Amino acid sequence: MIGEIYYSRKFLQHKPENYHPENPGRLWILISVIRELRLDDRILEPMPVDESFVKRIHDPTYVEFVKRAVEEGRRYLDPDTYVCPGTWEAALTALGASKLATLAALRYGGLNMALVRPPGHHAGRRGKAMGASTLGFCIFNNIAAAVLALKDEGLEKIVVVDFDAHHGNGTQEIFWHDPDVIHIDLHERDIYPWTGYESEIGGGLAKGSKINIPMPHYSNDSDYIFAWNEIVIPILEEVTPEIVLVSAGFDGFKGDGLTTLKLTEKFFSYAGASLRRYPLGMIFEGGYNVGLKKGFPAFVKGYEEKEARDDGQPSYETLKIVEEVKDILSPWWSF
Protein backbone atom coordinates (compact mmCIF):
# COMPACT_ATOMS: atom_id res chain seq x y z
CA MET A 1 0.00 0.00 0.00
CA ILE A 2 1.20 3.47 -0.83
CA GLY A 3 0.41 6.00 1.89
CA GLU A 4 1.18 9.69 1.93
CA ILE A 5 3.66 11.55 -0.25
CA TYR A 6 5.10 14.82 1.06
CA TYR A 7 6.38 17.22 -1.57
CA SER A 8 6.52 21.01 -1.84
CA ARG A 9 7.35 23.50 -4.58
CA LYS A 10 9.49 25.19 -1.92
CA PHE A 11 12.04 22.41 -2.58
CA LEU A 12 12.49 23.83 -6.08
CA GLN A 13 13.56 27.20 -4.63
CA HIS A 14 16.84 25.66 -3.48
CA LYS A 15 18.63 26.04 -6.78
CA PRO A 16 22.16 26.50 -8.09
CA GLU A 17 23.34 29.48 -10.13
CA ASN A 18 25.10 27.32 -12.66
CA TYR A 19 24.98 23.65 -13.57
CA HIS A 20 25.03 21.37 -10.55
CA PRO A 21 23.96 17.69 -10.35
CA GLU A 22 21.82 18.45 -7.28
CA ASN A 23 19.19 20.66 -8.90
CA PRO A 24 15.38 21.05 -8.94
CA GLY A 25 15.11 18.87 -12.06
CA ARG A 26 15.65 15.82 -9.85
CA LEU A 27 12.30 16.37 -8.21
CA TRP A 28 10.57 17.05 -11.53
CA ILE A 29 11.65 13.52 -12.50
CA LEU A 30 10.30 12.01 -9.26
CA ILE A 31 7.00 13.86 -9.63
CA SER A 32 6.61 12.71 -13.24
CA VAL A 33 7.18 9.13 -12.02
CA ILE A 34 4.54 9.66 -9.32
CA ARG A 35 2.11 10.83 -12.02
CA GLU A 36 2.87 7.82 -14.21
CA LEU A 37 2.19 5.58 -11.22
CA ARG A 38 -1.08 7.49 -10.74
CA LEU A 39 -0.15 8.39 -7.20
CA ASP A 40 -0.41 12.16 -7.57
CA ASP A 41 -3.56 12.25 -5.46
CA ARG A 42 -1.40 11.16 -2.48
CA ILE A 43 0.75 14.28 -2.59
CA LEU A 44 0.43 16.53 0.46
CA GLU A 45 2.04 19.87 1.27
CA PRO A 46 4.37 19.59 4.28
CA MET A 47 4.80 22.24 6.97
CA PRO A 48 8.32 23.40 7.79
CA VAL A 49 9.69 22.56 11.25
CA ASP A 50 10.64 25.43 13.51
CA GLU A 51 14.19 26.35 14.27
CA SER A 52 14.16 24.78 17.73
CA PHE A 53 13.52 21.38 16.11
CA VAL A 54 16.52 21.84 13.79
CA LYS A 55 18.64 22.59 16.86
CA ARG A 56 17.75 19.21 18.32
CA ILE A 57 19.44 17.60 15.29
CA HIS A 58 22.28 20.05 14.70
CA ASP A 59 24.52 22.16 16.86
CA PRO A 60 22.94 25.65 17.21
CA THR A 61 26.17 27.22 15.90
CA TYR A 62 25.83 25.30 12.63
CA VAL A 63 22.14 26.18 12.29
CA GLU A 64 22.98 29.88 12.80
CA PHE A 65 25.86 29.58 10.32
CA VAL A 66 23.51 28.27 7.60
CA LYS A 67 20.89 30.90 8.39
CA ARG A 68 23.43 33.71 8.20
CA ALA A 69 24.97 32.34 4.99
CA VAL A 70 21.54 32.44 3.32
CA GLU A 71 20.69 35.90 4.70
CA GLU A 72 24.03 37.33 3.60
CA GLY A 73 23.53 36.00 0.09
CA ARG A 74 26.44 33.58 0.15
CA ARG A 75 26.51 31.12 -2.72
CA TYR A 76 28.49 28.21 -1.36
CA LEU A 77 28.99 26.63 2.06
CA ASP A 78 31.85 24.59 0.56
CA PRO A 79 33.00 23.65 -2.95
CA ASP A 80 30.22 21.01 -3.33
CA THR A 81 27.33 22.58 -1.47
CA TYR A 82 25.55 25.71 -2.62
CA VAL A 83 23.00 27.91 -0.86
CA CYS A 84 20.61 30.51 -2.28
CA PRO A 85 17.74 32.68 -0.96
CA GLY A 86 15.29 29.73 -1.08
CA THR A 87 17.57 27.31 0.81
CA TRP A 88 16.46 28.05 4.38
CA GLU A 89 12.75 27.54 3.80
CA ALA A 90 13.38 24.49 1.56
CA ALA A 91 15.63 22.87 4.17
CA LEU A 92 13.19 23.43 7.05
CA THR A 93 10.33 22.14 4.91
CA ALA A 94 12.38 19.07 3.96
CA LEU A 95 12.77 18.28 7.67
CA GLY A 96 9.00 18.80 8.12
CA ALA A 97 8.19 16.49 5.21
CA SER A 98 10.49 13.79 6.60
CA LYS A 99 8.80 13.99 9.97
CA LEU A 100 5.27 13.90 8.50
CA ALA A 101 5.95 10.98 6.13
CA THR A 102 7.35 9.03 9.08
CA LEU A 103 4.38 9.76 11.33
CA ALA A 104 2.02 8.73 8.50
CA ALA A 105 3.89 5.42 8.19
CA LEU A 106 3.60 4.87 11.91
CA ARG A 107 -0.11 5.67 12.05
CA TYR A 108 -1.43 4.18 8.83
CA GLY A 109 1.30 1.80 7.57
CA GLY A 110 2.40 1.41 3.96
CA LEU A 111 5.09 3.23 2.02
CA ASN A 112 5.13 6.93 2.88
CA MET A 113 7.54 9.24 1.13
CA ALA A 114 9.30 12.52 1.70
CA LEU A 115 10.34 13.67 -1.78
CA VAL A 116 12.66 16.36 -0.53
CA ARG A 117 15.59 18.60 -1.42
CA PRO A 118 18.16 19.57 -0.25
CA PRO A 119 19.23 16.02 0.66
CA GLY A 120 20.45 15.28 4.18
CA HIS A 121 22.47 12.18 5.00
CA HIS A 122 25.92 13.82 4.77
CA ALA A 123 24.99 16.59 7.21
CA GLY A 124 26.41 15.90 10.67
CA ARG A 125 25.78 17.60 13.96
CA ARG A 126 28.08 20.53 13.17
CA GLY A 127 27.86 20.32 9.39
CA LYS A 128 30.63 18.35 7.72
CA ALA A 129 30.71 14.92 9.33
CA MET A 130 33.42 12.45 10.30
CA GLY A 131 36.25 14.28 8.57
CA ALA A 132 34.47 14.66 5.21
CA SER A 133 35.80 17.47 3.04
CA THR A 134 32.35 18.88 2.23
CA LEU A 135 28.64 18.61 3.07
CA GLY A 136 28.07 16.66 -0.16
CA PHE A 137 25.10 18.83 -1.30
CA CYS A 138 23.32 18.39 2.08
CA ILE A 139 22.17 21.14 4.49
CA PHE A 140 20.19 19.57 7.36
CA ASN A 141 19.81 15.86 8.08
CA ASN A 142 16.31 14.84 6.99
CA ILE A 143 16.49 11.21 8.11
CA ALA A 144 17.49 12.43 11.60
CA ALA A 145 14.21 14.39 11.68
CA ALA A 146 12.41 11.12 10.92
CA VAL A 147 14.28 9.38 13.76
CA LEU A 148 13.42 12.17 16.22
CA ALA A 149 9.76 12.01 15.18
CA LEU A 150 9.71 8.33 16.16
CA LYS A 151 11.57 8.96 19.41
CA ASP A 152 9.01 11.63 20.27
CA GLU A 153 6.31 9.00 19.73
CA GLY A 154 8.07 6.80 22.29
CA LEU A 155 9.58 4.19 19.95
CA GLU A 156 12.56 2.48 21.50
CA LYS A 157 14.45 0.78 18.67
CA ILE A 158 14.61 2.63 15.39
CA VAL A 159 16.07 1.16 12.22
CA VAL A 160 17.47 3.27 9.39
CA VAL A 161 18.45 1.53 6.14
CA ASP A 162 20.53 3.75 3.83
CA PHE A 163 21.07 2.38 0.31
CA ASP A 164 22.28 5.61 -1.27
CA ALA A 165 25.51 4.91 -3.18
CA HIS A 166 27.42 7.12 -0.72
CA HIS A 167 27.90 6.48 2.98
CA GLY A 168 25.47 8.34 5.26
CA ASN A 169 28.27 9.81 7.35
CA GLY A 170 26.11 12.61 8.79
CA THR A 171 23.48 10.19 10.04
CA GLN A 172 26.16 7.91 11.46
CA GLU A 173 27.82 10.78 13.29
CA ILE A 174 24.58 12.17 14.77
CA PHE A 175 23.59 8.79 16.23
CA TRP A 176 27.09 7.39 16.86
CA HIS A 177 26.53 7.09 20.61
CA ASP A 178 22.84 6.16 20.44
CA PRO A 179 22.34 2.39 20.87
CA ASP A 180 18.65 2.71 20.00
CA VAL A 181 19.28 3.84 16.43
CA ILE A 182 20.28 0.87 14.29
CA HIS A 183 21.81 2.35 11.14
CA ILE A 184 22.51 -0.11 8.31
CA ASP A 185 24.35 1.49 5.40
CA LEU A 186 25.24 -0.08 2.04
CA HIS A 187 27.40 2.08 -0.20
CA GLU A 188 30.33 2.04 -2.60
CA ARG A 189 33.62 1.86 -0.70
CA ASP A 190 36.54 4.29 -1.12
CA ILE A 191 34.57 7.19 -2.58
CA TYR A 192 33.20 10.41 -1.02
CA PRO A 193 32.80 10.82 1.99
CA TRP A 194 35.58 8.23 2.55
CA THR A 195 33.92 6.69 5.60
CA GLY A 196 31.56 3.77 6.21
CA TYR A 197 34.12 1.01 6.69
CA GLU A 198 33.30 -2.33 8.33
CA SER A 199 35.12 -1.33 11.50
CA GLU A 200 32.81 1.67 12.16
CA ILE A 201 30.26 0.09 14.51
CA GLY A 202 29.22 2.89 16.87
CA GLY A 203 30.74 4.26 20.07
CA GLY A 204 30.54 3.21 23.73
CA LEU A 205 27.27 1.53 24.60
CA ALA A 206 26.16 1.96 20.99
CA LYS A 207 28.77 -0.49 19.67
CA GLY A 208 27.17 -2.88 17.20
CA SER A 209 24.32 -0.51 16.33
CA LYS A 210 26.04 0.96 13.26
CA ILE A 211 26.35 -1.53 10.44
CA ASN A 212 28.45 -0.56 7.45
CA ILE A 213 28.60 -2.61 4.26
CA PRO A 214 31.22 -0.94 2.03
CA MET A 215 30.53 -2.58 -1.33
CA PRO A 216 33.23 -3.08 -3.98
CA HIS A 217 33.45 -0.76 -6.99
CA TYR A 218 31.31 -1.96 -9.92
CA SER A 219 28.99 -3.98 -7.66
CA ASN A 220 25.86 -5.19 -9.44
CA ASP A 221 22.40 -6.44 -8.45
CA SER A 222 23.67 -9.88 -7.40
CA ASP A 223 26.25 -8.34 -5.09
CA TYR A 224 23.76 -5.98 -3.48
CA ILE A 225 21.01 -8.60 -3.15
CA PHE A 226 23.49 -10.99 -1.52
CA ALA A 227 24.59 -8.36 1.05
CA TRP A 228 20.96 -7.41 1.62
CA ASN A 229 19.94 -11.02 2.30
CA GLU A 230 22.94 -11.80 4.49
CA ILE A 231 22.91 -8.67 6.64
CA VAL A 232 19.96 -6.28 6.19
CA ILE A 233 17.14 -8.84 6.33
CA PRO A 234 18.51 -10.84 9.30
CA ILE A 235 18.97 -7.65 11.34
CA LEU A 236 15.43 -6.52 10.56
CA GLU A 237 14.14 -9.95 11.55
CA GLU A 238 16.05 -9.78 14.80
CA VAL A 239 14.91 -6.26 15.71
CA THR A 240 11.33 -6.63 14.37
CA PRO A 241 10.87 -2.86 14.19
CA GLU A 242 7.40 -1.36 14.12
CA ILE A 243 8.49 0.79 11.19
CA VAL A 244 11.60 1.07 8.98
CA LEU A 245 13.15 4.36 7.88
CA VAL A 246 14.88 4.38 4.52
CA SER A 247 17.47 6.89 3.31
CA ALA A 248 16.65 6.24 -0.32
CA GLY A 249 19.30 7.23 -2.83
CA PHE A 250 19.11 5.96 -6.41
CA ASP A 251 22.61 7.04 -7.47
CA GLY A 252 23.87 3.42 -7.44
CA PHE A 253 21.82 2.81 -10.59
CA LYS A 254 24.01 1.90 -13.57
CA GLY A 255 24.78 5.06 -15.52
CA ASP A 256 23.37 7.51 -12.97
CA GLY A 257 26.72 9.23 -13.17
CA LEU A 258 28.39 9.77 -9.80
CA THR A 259 29.58 6.25 -8.88
CA THR A 260 30.75 3.01 -10.52
CA LEU A 261 27.89 0.87 -9.14
CA LYS A 262 25.88 -1.05 -11.72
CA LEU A 263 22.53 -1.58 -10.03
CA THR A 264 19.34 -1.90 -12.07
CA GLU A 265 15.60 -2.13 -11.45
CA LYS A 266 16.23 -5.61 -10.11
CA PHE A 267 17.94 -4.52 -6.90
CA PHE A 268 15.61 -1.60 -6.19
CA SER A 269 12.56 -3.75 -6.81
CA TYR A 270 14.01 -6.46 -4.58
CA ALA A 271 14.72 -3.96 -1.81
CA GLY A 272 11.15 -2.63 -1.98
CA ALA A 273 9.62 -6.10 -2.04
CA SER A 274 11.68 -7.36 0.88
CA LEU A 275 10.55 -4.41 3.02
CA ARG A 276 6.86 -4.70 2.21
CA ARG A 277 6.01 -6.28 5.53
CA TYR A 278 7.08 -3.08 7.34
CA PRO A 279 5.54 0.39 7.32
CA LEU A 280 8.15 2.58 5.62
CA GLY A 281 9.17 6.19 5.97
CA MET A 282 11.16 6.78 2.79
CA ILE A 283 13.34 9.90 2.79
CA PHE A 284 14.81 10.83 -0.58
CA GLU A 285 18.60 11.31 -0.71
CA GLY A 286 20.69 11.01 -3.91
CA GLY A 287 20.02 9.99 -7.51
CA TYR A 288 20.61 12.35 -10.38
CA ASN A 289 19.44 10.85 -13.62
CA VAL A 290 18.44 7.37 -14.79
CA GLY A 291 18.33 6.16 -11.17
CA LEU A 292 15.38 8.46 -10.58
CA LYS A 293 13.61 7.45 -13.79
CA LYS A 294 14.08 3.70 -13.28
CA GLY A 295 15.34 2.89 -9.78
CA PHE A 296 12.72 4.94 -7.91
CA PRO A 297 9.63 3.42 -9.62
CA ALA A 298 11.18 -0.06 -9.29
CA PHE A 299 11.43 0.42 -5.52
CA VAL A 300 7.84 1.69 -5.24
CA LYS A 301 6.42 -1.08 -7.43
CA GLY A 302 8.52 -3.67 -5.61
CA TYR A 303 6.99 -2.59 -2.30
CA GLU A 304 3.52 -2.60 -3.79
CA GLU A 305 3.25 -5.66 -5.89
CA LYS A 306 6.31 -7.86 -6.18
CA GLU A 307 7.45 -10.93 -4.35
CA ALA A 308 11.13 -10.74 -3.48
CA ARG A 309 13.07 -13.19 -5.64
CA ASP A 310 16.80 -13.38 -5.63
CA ASP A 311 19.22 -15.06 -7.94
CA GLY A 312 22.71 -14.59 -9.33
CA GLN A 313 26.12 -14.98 -7.79
CA PRO A 314 27.93 -12.27 -5.89
CA SER A 315 31.55 -11.53 -6.74
CA TYR A 316 34.38 -12.94 -4.63
CA GLU A 317 35.07 -9.43 -3.27
CA THR A 318 31.47 -9.08 -2.13
CA LEU A 319 31.55 -12.48 -0.43
CA LYS A 320 34.70 -11.44 1.41
CA ILE A 321 33.31 -8.09 2.55
CA VAL A 322 30.01 -9.55 3.70
CA GLU A 323 31.83 -12.23 5.70
CA GLU A 324 34.05 -9.57 7.26
CA VAL A 325 31.06 -7.40 8.26
CA LYS A 326 29.27 -10.38 9.81
CA ASP A 327 32.41 -11.41 11.64
CA ILE A 328 32.98 -7.95 13.14
CA LEU A 329 29.34 -7.63 14.22
CA SER A 330 28.88 -11.19 15.47
CA PRO A 331 29.19 -10.21 19.18
CA TRP A 332 25.99 -8.14 18.80
CA TRP A 333 23.98 -9.98 16.16
CA SER A 334 23.10 -13.63 15.65
CA PHE A 335 24.10 -13.96 11.98
Nearer of residues 221 and 285 to Zn ion, judged by Cβ: 285
Question: Which uninterrupted H or E stretch holds 159?
Answer: strand 158-162
* Interface with Zn ion, residue 168, by CB under 5 A: no
* Residue 187 makes contact with Zn ion by CB under 5 A: no
Q: Determine contact, residues 83/73, Cβ cutoff 8 Å.
A: no
Per the annotation, the verdict on 122 as an active-site residue is yes
Q: Of these, 249, 272, 281, 314, which contacts Zn ion (CB under 5 A)?
A: 249
- The residue among 80 and 164 lying less far from Zn ion, judged by its C-beta, is 164
* Cβ-based nearer residue to Zn ion, 161 or 165: 165
36: CB partners within 8 A, 6+ apart: 297
Q: How far is the CB of 164 from Zn ion (least distance, A)?
A: 4
- Residue 185 interacts with Zn ion (CB under 5 A): yes or no: no
8 A C-beta contact, residue 245 and residue 283:
yes
- Using CB under 5 A as the binding rule, whether residue 251 contacts Zn ion is answered as yes
Is the Cβ–Cβ distance between 192 and 78 less than 8 Å? Answer: no
Residue 291 touching Zn ion (CB under 5 A): no
How far apart CA 121 and CA 141 sit, in angstroms, is 5
Is residue 118 close enough to count as binding Zn ion by CB under 5 A?
A: no
Report in angstroms the alpha-carbon separations of 195 from 59, 117, 142, 235, 321.
21, 23, 19, 21, 15
Residue 120 vs 281, nearer CB to Zn ion: 120
Q: Is 22 in the site for Zn ion (CB under 5 A)?
A: no
Q: Least distance (Å) from Zn ion to the CB of residue 41?
A: 30
Catalytic residue among 58, 122, 166, 187: 122
CB 252, min distance to Zn ion, A:
8
**CB of residue 78 vs Zn ion: minimum separation in angstroms?**
16
Cβ–Cβ under 8 Å, residues 58 and 123: yes
164 binds Zn ion (CB under 5 A): yes
CA distance linking residue 244 with residue 105, whole number of Å: 9
d(CA 214, CA 212): 6
Residues that bind Zn ion (CB under 5 A): 164-166, 249, 251, 286
Active site residues: 122
